[in-house]
Amino acid sequence: MVDERLLKAFEALRKRYGNGLAIVTVTRNACGGCFNAVPPQMQIEISQKKEIIACENCGRVLIADDLATSVDKKERISDIEDFPRRKMKRTFEFD
Ligand SMILES: [Zn+2]
């Protein structure tokens, strides 16, 4: 179900960020990867989870913070389980 173009972009990101932080959460209105400010409109789009939004500055994939901190974590994470679990876990360890 993953768009091939997005998948390619994601693979490229993973190569670029060998530390496994291709996916970051939006923290305090900023990108969790480069801390560049994320415009409110973009945050709305991210929280709607209708499409994959990348940071304008560093190109990392941005996910809503509630996705990482939600109580029903397992269920929420399954929404994006196409992303490698090990990499995701490393991202969430920042919580
Ligand atoms: Zn960024």
Residue 95 binned pLDDT confidence (cut-offs 50, 70, 90): very low
Residues 6+ apart with CB under 8 A from 44: none
| CATH number of the domain to which 64 belongs | 1.10.287.1490
- 34-38, 65-69, 87-91: least confident range: 87-91
Domain total of the chain: 1
The CA 30 to ligand 1 mean position distance, Å, reads 8
Residue 36 has pLDDT above 80, yes or no: yes
Mean pLDDT of the chain: 74
**pLDDT tens sequence across 42-64:** 999 998 888 888 898 988 889 88
Distance CA 74, CA 79 (A): 9
Ion ligand 1: residues, CB within 5 A, are 31, 33-34, 36, 55, 57-58
Distance CA 55, CA 86 (A): 21
Taking the mean position of all CA atoms in its chain, how far away is CA 48? 13
Average pLDDT over residues 29-38: 93
Structural domain for 57, as ranges: 4-92
